[in-house]
Amino acid sequence: MSRLSQTWNQHVVKKENKALVLKTIQGKAPISRAAIANVTGLNKGTVSSLVSELIDEKLIHESGTGKSSGGRRPVMLLLNETAGFTISVDLGVKSILGVLTDLRGNILSEKKIRFKKKDFDDVLTLLYQLIDELKNDAPESEYGIVGIGIGVPGVVTTEGEILLAPNLGWKKVPLQQILFDHYHVPVTVENEANAGAYGEKVYGVGQMSNELVYASISIGIGVGLILEGKLYKGLRGFSGELGHMTIEKDGANCRCGNKGCWELYASEQALLDQAQINGFDDATVEKLIEAADQGDTKAIQLLENVGDYLGVGITNIIHIFNPEQVVVGNTLRQAEKYIMPAIEKRIEKNAIGFNKNDVVLNVAKLKKHSTVMGIAAFNIEKFFEETGRETVLT
Residue ranges binding its own copies (CB under 8 A): 1, 3-5, 7-10, 12-13, 16-17, 20, 24, 35, 38-42, 155, 163-164, 210-211, 223, 227-228, 232-242, 244-249, 256-259, 265, 309, 312, 315-316, 319-324, 349-355, 358
Are the C-beta atoms of 76 and 62 separated by less than 8 Å? yes
Q: How far apart are CA 209 and CA 325, in angstroms?
A: 7
**Nearest distance from C-beta of residue 321 to its own copies, angstroms:** 5
**Nearest distance from C-beta of residue 83 to DNA, angstroms:** 20
CA neighbor of 17 nearest in space, from 36, 48, 42, 39: 42
- DSSP per residue, 172-203: EE-HHHHHHHHH-S-EEEEEHHHHHHHHHHHT
Binding mask 74-93 for DNA (x = CB under 7 A): xx------------------
CA neighbor of 322 nearest in space, from 350, 362, 347, 358: 358
Q: Is 64 near DNA (CB under 7 A)?
A: no
Cis peptide before 323 (omega within 30 of 0): no
Q: How far apart are CA 76 and CA 67, in angstroms?
A: 10
Question: 301 to 330, contacts with DNA by CB under 7 A?
Answer: none
**Nearest distance from C-beta of residue 309 to its own copies, angstroms:** 7
| Residue 358 touches which member of its own copies, DNA, none, C-beta under 5-8 Å by kind | its own copies
Q: Which stretch of DSSP H or E encloses residue 314?
A: helix 297-321
258 by DSSP, 3-state: which?
A: coil
The binder of DNA chosen from 22, 24, 26, 51 (CB under 7 A): 51
Q: Is 68 near DNA (CB under 7 A)?
A: yes
Sign of CA dihedral 343, 348, 350, 356: positive
| Residue 65 touches which member of DNA, its own copies, none, C-beta under 5-8 Å by kind | DNA
Q: Which is nearer to its own copies, 151 or 313 (CB)?
A: 313
Q: How far apart are CA 197 and CA 286, in angstroms?
A: 24
Are the C-beta atoms of 156 and 163 separated by less than 8 Å? yes
Are the C-beta atoms of 97 and 110 separated by less than 8 Å? yes
Residues binding DNA: number (CB under 7 A): 33
Q: Which is nearer to DNA, 64 or 257 (CB)?
A: 64
The binder of DNA chosen from 23, 28, 44, 230 (CB under 7 A): 44
| Residue 124 touches which member of DNA, its own copies, none, C-beta under 5-8 Å by kind | none
Distances (CA, A) of 371 to 23, 153, 238: 22, 10, 17
Q: Which is nearer to DNA, 18 or 233 (CB)?
A: 18
| Residue 354 touches which member of DNA, its own copies, none, C-beta under 5-8 Å by kind | its own copies
Q: Which is nearer to DNA, 76 or 99 (CB)?
A: 76
6 by DSSP, 3-state: which?
A: coil
Which residues would be at the binding site for DNA (CB under 7 A)?
7-11, 13-14, 17-18, 32-35, 41-46, 48-52, 65, 68-75
